[in-house]
Amino acid sequence: MTVWQALGGRGYLRSAWPWRSVAFLASGALFGAVVLVGIVAGVAVGAATAVVLVGLPLLVLTALAGIPVAAVERWRVRTAGVGAAPAGAHRVPDAPGLARWLVVRLKEPETWRELAYAVLLALVLWPLDALVVTFAAGVPLFLLATPLLVAVEGEAKVVKLWTVDTWPAATGAALAGGVLLLAGAYVLGVAAGARAQVVKALLGARGHDSARVAELVRSRVRLVDAFEAERRRIERDLHDGAQQRLVALTMRLGLARLDVPPGPLADQLATAHGEAEKALAELRELIHGIHPKVLADYGLEAAVADAADRSAIPVDVHLDLPGRLSQPVESAAYFVVCEALANVGRHSGASRAVVSGGHDEGRLTLEVRDDGRGGADLAGGTGLTGLADRVSVLDGRLFLSSPPGGPTLLRVEIPCRPTEPCA
Amino acid sequence: MPADRALRIVLAEDSVLLRDGLVGLLTRFGYEVVAAVGDADALLAAVAEHTPDVVVTDVRMPPGFQDEGLHAAVKLREERPGLPVLVLSQYVQRAYAAELLDSGDGTGVGYLLKDRVGQVEEFVDALREVAAGGTVVDAEVVRQLLRRRRDPLARLTPREREVLALMAEGKSNGAIAKALVVSEAAVGKHIGSILTKLDLPPADDTHRRVLAVLAYLRG
């Protein structure tokens, strides 16, 4: 429930909403004043001492001031409940360390959006908050207190304009104060609601966008799943259909050759036999590339060892996995290794490669390094970009370090848990 | 090879087309196919019923189309050590070969690419070798392993590695000599050197060749 809904209801005046609104606005005025002092002091001292370099960190700190300010503002909206609580959209740094955090913060628009809000709060919003509280709550309360002041001090100055010193005037002022207080309660509610709206508009995550991003990620996951299922279907169809027929055909051709006396016919048969065998070998490689059986049956370690065996250059494998991983993870990791080894064989000029990896702290880490000439580029090859996409669907990441002159290091991290081997 | 009696074979292959073809092929070469079945359970039952001399089985079979045939073969060799088994696979992989070779002492085992049945005579030779207690591993697996230089293989000379590869294919000294175009005595010398380097000293053990191949395959 927000203050807007409460304002429409009948029990608004008797509810806690006017109190919440005034607390929200008053705390906003106080906080805004503090922010103003902080920013002015930060900029002034920072600029003054920038020449001696002490001020620069202070200026950076001031630039980051929007982050805690925004956090407090979001917290105020959430706690007072006057409007829909907005959520921030800061990025999570991809590596630990203060320096990395600083770079990410200073680079992302969210930080500057929040700083802009802090400045707006310091210059515009908090005086408005204070004004509303003063006129909608302060003045009516003062009017209500007029008789008391007259009794104690003999006179009271109403809004610094006119002096009340008679009882009838004081009673009138008190009555007016009561009416104004009731009206003010509504004004406070409206102001608090509007103020929360401002916070939400300026500090809220782009809600619509994030919903769409989530939907996009989901649809990508579905697409990859469908793609995997299709691979398996094709692999099975080729296995149980075309391959079996070709094997039967080569066998019959082989048997026929035994019965045919030497001559042109025997030569023809021999050629046909050879062709069929070649087709069979090609089909076998094709099926293996689509989805290797050993990956399904024995898991990632065996499949990577197998890929290493097939590689054109010598490959050492040091893998230490706790067991089987989920099927999409194994599949993505395997194809990353295959693509990396294919690239090593094709482009790197390396004489040796090492595949190492393990499972630690809930994530699978795989590294493929070679001693080649380097210069590989994620943007250059379509293969690696496609793999990066597949890995990112699993919330994983793919890093490539390949300075000219080498060596090249490809690293994949995928969060996952070991699974029980399926029977 | 006993000449007076045809070797009795139980065959497991789920593709009807291929099964019929294999039965024709084996019969033609003088084997007696006592049972030809289509899945792993039927294979176990048929072996229990017929106690054949040799078992020939496909790796991938119903119901799961995973590696049921391979597991059936391993199970059979646990129950009947020394039962010669020839396993046919759509493609050869070290993981499958290792599982099979670890069953029993590695003798009387064959692991071949399914395509090899097209080279009819080679296939029948391999079957004969397995039935006689030999070990036959597909040349493709051997080739893959040769690409990886690992100890103790690193100590072997290229020629010794070639000899070892041919040994793994189940070839006799004579056949190896013919393939490499060297004398049989030279092959014998190479093998002696291989056995020394692989730390397999002369002993009464008659399976030193098999042990060398296994050491090599398990890497």
pLDDT bracket for residue A14 (50, 70, 90) = confident
d(Cα B141, Cα B138) in Å, to the nearest integer? 6
Q: Would you state the structure tokens that stand for residue B130, as one six-digit string? A: 């397995």
Label residue B149 by pLDDT band (50, 70, 90). very low
- What is the model's pLDDT at position A279? 92
Joined together, the tokens standing for residue B110 give: 């064959």
Nearest to A248 among B18, B91, B95 (CB): B18
Using a CB-CB cut-off of 8 Å, the residues of chain B touching A233 are none
Residue B212 has pLDDT above 80, yes or no: no
Strand partners, A419: A324
Q: What value, to the nearest 5°, has the Cα angle with vertex B2 and ends B83 and B102?
A: 20
Kindly state the average pLDDT of the residues B196-207. Answer: 66
Longest dimension (CA), chain B: 50
pLDDT at A394 over 90: no
Give B152-171 pLDDT, tens digit per residue. Answer: 666 788 888 888 888 887 78
Per-chain mean pLDDT for chain A: 83
How confident is the model over A227-241, as pLDDT tens digits? 888 888 888 888 888
**Is B96 in Cβ contact with A294 (below 8 Å)?**
yes
Is pLDDT of A161 > 80?
A: no
A319 closest CA partner among A331, A332, A346, A337 = A337
Q: Is the pLDDT of residue A380 over 70?
A: no
Please give the residue that has the higher pLDDT: either B25 or B3: B25
Q: Is the pTM of this model over 0.90?
A: no
Task: Please report where in the chains the tokens 């396993």 appear, as a residue.
Answer: B87
- Judged by CB atoms closer than 8 Å, whether chains meet at A297 and B90 is answered as no
Residues of A with CB under 8 A from a CB of B: 236, 239-240, 243-245, 247-248, 250-255, 257-258, 273, 276-277, 280-281, 284, 287-288, 293-294, 296-298, 302, 305-306, 308-312, 314-315
| Strand, helix or coil for residue A375 | coil
Q: Above pLDDT 70, what percent of chain A?
A: 93
Give the pLDDT confidence of B65-93 residue by residue, as tens digits: 778 888 899 999 888 888 999 999 877 77
Q: Which residue in the set A247, A281, A315 is minimally distant from B117, CB to CB?
A: A247
Mean pLDDT along residues A413-418: 83
* Backbone torsions φ then ψ of A100, nearest 5 degrees: -60, -40
Within 8 A by CB and 6+ apart from A308, the residues are A315, A316, A317, A341, A355, B148
What is the maximum span of chain A, computed from C-alpha positions, in angstroms?
139
Question: Domain residues of chain A, as ranges?
Answer: 3-204, 210-290, 297-421
pLDDT for the residue A420: 53
Most A-contacting residue of B61, B67, B91, B116 (CB-CB within 10 A), to test interface: B91
B145 falls in which pLDDT band (50, 70, 90)?
low
- pLDDT, one tens digit per residue, over A65-87 is 888 999 899 888 888 877 776 77
Residues of A with Cβ-Cβ distance to B122 under 8 angstroms: none
For domain A297-421, give the CATH superfamily.
Histidine kinase-like ATPase, C-terminal domain (3.30.565.10)
More confident residue, A397 or A419: A397
The reported pLDDT for the residue numbered B1 is 46
* pLDDT in the model for residue A228: 81
C-beta atoms of B91 and A288 within 8 A: yes
- With beta carbons less than 8 A apart as the criterion, state whether A242 and A276 touch: no
CB contact under 8 A, A297 and B67: yes
The β-bridge relationship of strands A162-164 and B54-58 is: unpaired
Distance CA B103, CA B57 (A): 15
Residues 6+ apart with CB under 8 A from B178: none
The answer on pLDDT for A206 being more than 70 is no
Which carries the bigger pLDDT value, residue B31 or residue B204? B31
Q: Searching chain B, which residue's CA lies closest to the CA of residue A275?
A: B118
Q: For A344-366, how does the pLDDT look when each residue is reduced to its tens digit (9 = 90+)?
A: 888 778 888 999 998 887 889 99
* Residue of B22, B24, B66 lying closest to A297 (CB–CB): B66
Q: Residue B26: its pLDDT value, please?
A: 93
